[in-house]
């Protein structure tokens, strides 16, 4: 499966994605604010951790199964919610199918180009990720649609702070309308990569610029630009709003975007089942240290009350093992699978997940561990004494 995929590791996948995507689309997924310091730091921080391999009595098998937010998964890597996937005509459904084939879950973004019902049909381990956009009535209708569609958990993301300022290449603003002048203005970028555009034309589609999960009414689906404008105009949710949302949903509930002990404790207080330590892949405030550096302190503070996940910078199976050893129940991946999707659609995402799963098993074999429960900080070497950073309390 996925034999024709032209990459064998995530570095190659990234290089090919950069080559094949129109520049504006590439910049939109690579992203990272301002200097991109946090974007790089998220990856770099994993290099401050190492292993001490063993050679005797290594286990024959590695059991990588776990369960999160009420679903069983074959290995602790989940496809993270990512918006604006104008990178492959397969879109989120392709990613959902690949995740299902690999026995894992997907979080579907509010800003996805496929609807939650299309994604739950492709993967019965789908979670819906909600941004606080519009009135409570509109939010309730979207939550109910996720429930009707069979989403297994609700993820609320609270850390996107509208700061798409960059010191390097700025992608065009999301279009408000899909009229002829707008399409004409986007055409040169699309035509710069004819092979990429041809994939859409073969399927009789154009890159999707509507966001069905942020519907206004059942018949009124906004463009990305319109939904963005509604987001910017909506006051950020208060503690009571999030508590209301938690109670409205009732099922497994995760708060995404935690970078402080105080916020982690508040998520526990409102009855969340899980949090994810995340800086939105470097798309929130540049200068925020990597989530993996905060993870041990946050696990110490709330790990006995709630499942703690982490994301940001994961590009190898050994990164996943490091995160689990520091107390994460599972990790989410963003760009890693976007690169695979951009290069080879569903098979590309499958290959990325396979590379990560194999990497987890090989690392566990090398350090003599047969199950995730056996991993602890004692399995890691802290190579840089500044590795651990205590987040704000
Ligand atoms: C292009 C892009 C779009 C994203 N869109 C969303 C989104 O709609 N909702 C969300 O919760 N997180 C979003 N994220 C954040 C990811 O879910 C995840 O936290 C991040 O990508 C992890 O870092 P990594 O890309 O280094 O794996 C986005 C990230 C990227 C790169």
Q: What is the DSSP string of 153-220?
A: EEEEE--------BSS--PPPPPS--SHHHHHHHHHHHHTSHHHHHHHHHTT-----B-GGG-SBTTB
Could you give the CA distance from residue 293 to residue 305 in angstroms, rounded to a whole number?
20
- Which residue, judged by its Cα, is nearest atom 5 of ligand 1? 82
Q: For residue 341, what pLDDT is reported?
A: 96
pLDDT band at residue 197, thresholds of 50, 70 and 90? confident
Closest Cα to atom 4, ligand 1: which residue?
Answer: 82
Higher pLDDT among residues 208 and 355, named by residue: 355
Residue 200 pLDDT more than 60?
yes
Identified catalytic residue from 30, 280, 293, 351? 280
pLDDT at 219 over 70: yes
Catalytic site includes residue 88: no
What pLDDT was estimated at residue 160? 80
For the segment 296-311, the average pLDDT, to the nearest whole number, is 98
Nearest CA to ligand 1 atom 3: 82
The residue nearest atom 8 of ligand 1, judged by CA position, is 83
Let me know: does 82 contact 338? Beta carbons within 8 Å: yes
Residue nearest to ligand 1 atom 14, measured at CA: 82
DSSP 8-class letter at 87: T
Q: Which DSSP helix (H) or strand (E) runs through 128? A: strand 126-130
Number of C-beta neighbours around residue 355 at 10 A? 23
Q: Which CATH superfamily is domain 10-382 in?
A: Aldolase class I (3.20.20.70)
Counting residues of the chain whose pLDDT is more than 90, the rounded percentage is: 79
- Which of 102-106, 227-231, 311-315 shows the lowest mean pLDDT across its residues? 227-231
pLDDT in tens, 362-374: 999 999 999 999 9
Residue 313 alpha carbon, nearest atom of ligand 1 = 26
Q: In the structure, what pLDDT confidence band is assigned to residue 182 with cuts at 50, 70 and 90?
A: low
Give 24-83 pLDDT, tens digit per residue: 889 889 888 999 999 999 999 999 999 999 999 899 999 999 999 999 999 999 999 998
The binding-site residues of ligand 1, defined as CB within 6 angstroms of any ligand atom, are: 28-29, 31, 42, 80-83, 109, 111, 129, 157, 256, 278, 280-281, 283, 311-314, 332-336
Ligand 1 centroid to residue 180 C-alpha, Å = 30
Q: What atom of ligand 1 comes closest to residue 276's alpha carbon?
A: 19
At 207, the pLDDT band (50, 70, 90 cuts) reads low
Which of 28, 41, 82, 355 for a ligand 1 pocket mutation test, highest count of atoms within 8 Å of Cβ? 82
Cα separation of the two ends of the chain: 47
Rounded CA-CA distance 14/336 in Å is: 8
Ligand 1 centroid to Cα of residue 208, in Å, is 18
* 45-59, 88-102, 200-214, range with the lowest pLDDT: 200-214
* Phi, then psi, of 384 in degrees rounded to 5: -130, 120
Provide, rounded to the nearest whole percent, the portion of the chain with pLDDT above 70.
91
Q: Which long-range contacts (CB under 8 A, 24 or more apart) does 133-137 make?
A: 133/214, 133/227, 133/230, 133/231, 133/234, 134/214, 134/216, 134/230, 134/234, 136/241, 136/244
Q: For a pocket test of ligand 1, which of 11, 81, 330 has the largest count of ligand atoms closer than 8 A to its C-beta?
A: 81
Sorted by sequence, the CB contacts under 8 Å of residue 189 that are 6+ apart come out as: 22, 23, 24, 25, 172
Does 298 have pLDDT greater than 80? yes
**Can you give the pLDDT at residue 194?**
82
CA of 74 to the centre of ligand 1 (A): 22
87 or 315, higher pLDDT: 315
Residue with tokens 């739950």: 120
**For 253, phi and psi rounded to 5 degrees?**
-140, 130
184 pLDDT more than 70: no
Cα(363) to centroid of ligand 1, in Å?
26
Q: Ligand 1 centroid vs 53 CA: distance in angstroms?
A: 33
Ligand 1 center–CA 299 separation, angstroms: 22
Atom 21 of ligand 1, residue of closest alpha carbon: 334
SS3 374: helix
Q: Which of 122-126, 205-209, 259-263, 335-339 has the lowest average pLDDT?
A: 205-209
């Amino acid at each position: 499966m996925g034999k024709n995929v032209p990459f064998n590791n995530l570095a190659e996948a990234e290089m090919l994605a950069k080559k094949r995507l129109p520049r504006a689309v590439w910049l939109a997924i690579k992203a990272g604010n301002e200097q991109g310091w946090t974007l790089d730091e998220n990856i770099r921080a994993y290099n401050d951790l190492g292993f001490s391999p063993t050679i005797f009595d290594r286990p024959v098998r590695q059991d990588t199964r776990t369960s999160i937010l009420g679903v069983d998964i074959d290995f602790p890597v989940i496809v993270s919610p990512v918006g604006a996937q104008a990178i492959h005509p397969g879109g989120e459904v392709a990613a959902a199918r690949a995740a299902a084939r690999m026995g894992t879950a997907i979080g579907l973004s509010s800003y996805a180009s496929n609807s939650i019902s299309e994604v739950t049909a492709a993967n019965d381990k789908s979670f819906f990720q909600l941004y606080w956009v519009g009135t409570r009535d509109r939010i309730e209708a979207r939550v109910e649609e996720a429930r009707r569609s069979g989403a297994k958990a609700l993820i609320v993301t609270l850390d996107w702070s509208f700061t798409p300022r960059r010191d390097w290449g700025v992608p065009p603003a999301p279009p408000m309308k899909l009229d002829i002048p707008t399409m004409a203005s986007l055409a040169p970028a699309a035509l710069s990569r004819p092979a990429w555009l041809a994939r859409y034309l073969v399927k009789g589609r154009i890159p999707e610029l509507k966001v069905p999960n942020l519907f206004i009414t059942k018949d009124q689906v906004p463009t990305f630009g319109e939904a963005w404008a509604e987001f910017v105009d909506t006051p950020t949710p208060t503690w009571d709003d999030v508590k209301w949302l938690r109670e409205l949903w009732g099922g497994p509930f995760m708060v995404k975007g935690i970078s402080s002990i105080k916020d982690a404790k508040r998520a526990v207080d409102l009855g969340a089942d899980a949090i994810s330590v995340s800086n939105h892949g470097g798309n929130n405030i540049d200068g925020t240290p990597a989530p993996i550096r905060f993870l041990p302190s946050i696990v110490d503070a709330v790990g006995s009350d709630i499942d703690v996940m982490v994301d940001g910078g994961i590009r190898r199976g050994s990164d996943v093992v490091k995160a689990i050893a520091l107390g994460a129940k599972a990790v989410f991946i963003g760009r890693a699978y976007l690169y695979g999707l951009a290069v080879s659609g569903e098979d590309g995402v499958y290959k990325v997940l396979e590379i990560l799963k194999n990497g987890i098993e090989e690392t566990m074999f090398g350090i003599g561990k047969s199950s995730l429960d056996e991993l602890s900080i004692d399995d890691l070497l802290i190579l840089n004494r500044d590795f651990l950073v205590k987040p704000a309390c």
